[in-house]
A and B are shown apart, each in its own frame.
Chain A
Amino acid sequence: LPADIISTVEFNHTGELLATGDKGGRVVIFQREQESKHQSHRRGEYNVYSTFQSHEPEFDYLKSLEIEEKINKIRWLPQQNAAYFLLSTNDKTVKLWKVSERDKRPEGYNLKDEDGRLRDPSMITMLRVPVLRPMDLMVEATPRRVFANAHTYHINSISVNSDYETYMSADDLRINLWNFEITNQSFNIVDIKPANMEELTEVITAAEFHPHHCNTFVYSSSKGTIRLCDMRTAALCDRHAKFFEEPEDPSNRSFFSEIISSISDVKFSHSGRYIMTRDYLTVKVWDLNMENRPIETYQVHDYLRSKLCSLYENDCIFDKFECVWNGSDSVIMSGSYNNFFRMFDRNTKRDVTLEASRENSKPRAVLKPRKVCVGGKRRKDEISVDSLDFSKKILHTAWHPSENIIAVAATNNLYIFQDKVN
């Protein structure tokens, strides 16, 4: 079912919860089992904790446009009390959801009976105090805030600020800053819309706040550039504090050079010292102190470089892959086709290709590294480029904040892999 296609995956700050959003506007939250004392050698598994409909399809009558209910991004807020809070967004509207548990219910009302029916007041002869009695655990999700009508173009990113009071939402041409408590206004902090739309040459593709400095954020563009902005310098951050761009390699010029240099995701490292960007063929790591080129470049699937025309025809060249850091910023991961995903160890410079598929993943089985054969003789376990299934793409992955647990979304299936315990 197309509505079941997972469109975003995100662990919360402790890794206890994992949220997924899908094309049908639903959010499914998984919770990690508490490790039991009896089975301490087994890691906790993730089970469904809550499911709710976050967004519904809408119709903008003024513009005759349908607004898709697909969840583009989910971002968790840090936990401040017993309830969990997350932001979820579709193309136009951001919502703040509260997810809380209820394990007690009041019993013994005076004015209504146990079924909820109102009692006849004249029949009441005595008063009693209602008591709370345990009940089966119920997890309920309630929309606490709806941040709407602030985006003309399609929202591609949301990012919670480290002050936990504000967050930003970015669309193709603008970035807005919100306060969680205020839904009827937002501040526009970036606006790259040209006065004459015919002069448009680039759009914003992703944006993120710095993990520690609440005044700093970055946004990436379709031209392969990243701008770092400081909100203290001006109300409207149209002038960047830093501009990251790598000069183009002229030998790689093709009809599609511009498309493949468009950045599809940008992520700060946990340390806040680096940013990672994903374009169609590579993942790049940039040092915030060096703007003229990345410090590391990793080839995700360079064998596709000679296939760009076909990938343009079948629209795969427009796929937007995300990228993630592990908790210690030593390993980075991003997806590819044929349900392959790639991990790069920044220290050892080793990389591995793994596959998320039912046939290859029995519970507790160890994932076997995969290899794509580029040319010449194909070895037994290798797969040739022409046999790759381009309909099986891994666009969304997530890494547990402190442990080696990863979540990989393969179309409408979610795979959770854990590091093998010694």
Chain B
Amino acid sequence: MEFKLEAHRIVSISLGKIYSARGQRGGLKLHKNLLVSLVLRTARQVYLSEPGFPPEPPPTACGPPGEESPPPPPPCAATTSTWAAGELLPPPPPPQDEAVRGGPRLPGANCEGPRPRRCCCGCSCHCAAAAGEANRATTVVVGAAASPMSHCARKRSAGERGQAGSPVKKPRREVEEGPPPGDQEDMETGNVASLISIFGSSFSGLLSKEPKGRRRAPFGRGEAAGTGTGPPTETASESGQICYDEPVLRTLNPWSTAIVAF
């Protein structure tokens, strides 16, 4: 659980960095943002592979922060939940898959509801993402409470990743069976790519150089999904301040609420 919290924290920090990179002078720093996206991907992998992860798919609600009830039209839900927990869902219908790959349309482009919100500011994607994550976080909380502590204890010893891998692999395998292997990799980093493309303007200098003027994110597919990043060996012992951008903090409230409840 410690690693899960750490991973969560790192994901939040990384999103904050990507968000604040929009306004920086001199344009987007490709190198730095590539590194941040790699950390984001690693943290997300760890978060998803932690024990206590429920095998059942999460509810597909997707809404503004704070309101988790009204389910949007199905295409939108599938897409945003794809960002939240790509491996959990059965493969989304092809149009969404296309969008998720950072193609010409933003994810959720098909659904009317959230679309206007996405356009107005970067944090709207946080809304969608965070809300999606919140749902997963909620279910995870329930799942974690149920799982025996022995899972956590075993997970913590970094050297024993091999053995610790076995209980973890079980939920993961179920998860991975859903989408075809190739798609999983696409969704994984394609989601990050979509996230980046939503932030838009800071990347315009790079994106405008793309052929046919298609908007693509500068990062995406990393190594094969099977690199199997283990749990981090460092402990969450830092007492460093978490510095959130205000809008990020607001939209991540569902996350903190879930954790406090646990």
Interface residues of A (CB under 8 A from B): 60, 62-68, 70, 91, 152-154, 156, 172-173, 196-203, 205, 222, 251-256, 258-259, 262, 305-310, 312-315, 318
Contact A172-B220, Cβ < 8 Å, known A63-B205, A256-B39: no
Q: What residues of B have a CB within 8 angstroms of the CB of A253 in the complex?
A: 158, 229-230, 232-233
* Pairwise interchain contact A197-B39, C-beta atoms closer than 8 A: no
Tell me, yes or no, whether B183 is within 8 Å of chain A by CB: no
Contact across chains for B26 and A198 when beta carbons are under 8 A apart: no
User: Using a CB–CB distance below 8 Å, which chain B residues touch chain A?
Assistant: 6-7, 10, 13, 17, 25-27, 29-32, 34-35, 38-39, 42-43, 46, 101-102, 158-159, 189-190, 193, 201, 204-206, 208-210, 216-223, 229-230, 232-234, 236-238, 240-243
A64 to B205, CA, bound (A): 7
Out of A153, A251, A314, name the residue touching B206 (CB < 8 Å).
Answer: A153
- Nearest B-chain residue to A172, judged by Cβ: B30
Assess the A309–B233 pair: CB atoms within 8 A. Answer: no
Contacts of B30 in A (CB 8 A): 153-154, 172-173, 203
Nearest opposing residue in chain B for A318, CB measure: B32
* CB atoms of A222 and B241 under 8 A apart: no
Q: Which of B39, B218, B240 contacts A200 (CB 8 A)?
A: B218
Of A262, A305, A314, the contact of B35 (CB 8 Å cutoff)? A262
Q: In whole angstroms, how far apart are the Cα atoms of A318 and B39 in the complex?
A: 12
**Which residues on the B side are within 8 Å of A201 (C-beta)?**
34, 221-223
Look across to chain B and name the residue whose beta carbon is closest to the beta carbon of A307.
Answer: B238
Which listed residue, A64, A67, A203, A255, touches B42 by the CB 8 Å rule? Answer: A255
Q: Are B46 and A198 closer than 8 Å at their CB atoms? A: no
Cβ distance B88 to chain A, nearest Cβ, rounded Å: 22
Complex alpha-carbon distance, A197 and B204, angstroms? 13
Residue of B nearest to A202 (CB): B34
Interface contact A310-B238, CB-CB below 8 Å: yes
Chain A residues within 8 Å of B206, by CB? 152-153, 197
Extra contacts besides A63-B27, A154-B27, A253-B230 (4): CB < 8 Å: A65-B204, A172-B30, A202-B34, A255-B46
Whether A198 lies near B221 (C-beta < 8 A) is yes
**Contact B10–A309 (Cβ < 8 Å):** yes
| Across-interface contacts of B209 in A (CB, < 8 A) | 152
A210 to B206, CA, bound (A): 31
Known contacts A63-B208, A251-B233; decide if A313 and B243 are in contact (CB<8 Å).
yes
Closest to B190 in A: A198
What residues of chain B lie closer than 8 Å to A312, measured between beta carbons?
Answer: 10, 13, 39
Which has the most chain A C-beta neighbours within 10 Å: B30, B220, B230? B30
Inside 8 A of B208's CB, which chain A residues have their CB?
A: 62-63
Select which of A60, A198, A308, A314 is within 8 A of B219 by beta carbon: A198
Alpha-carbon separation in the docked complex, A22 to B92 (Å):
51
From A153, A197, A255, B43 is in contact (CB under 8 Å) with A255
Contacts of B241 in A (CB 8 A): 313
Query: Does B35 lie within 8 Å of A258, measured CB to CB?
Result: yes
Do B102 and A255 have beta carbons less than 8 Å apart? no
Shortest distance between the CB of A58 and any CB in chain B (Å): 10
Q: Flag if A318 contacts B232 (CB, 8 Å).
A: no
A313 to B12, CA, bound (A): 10
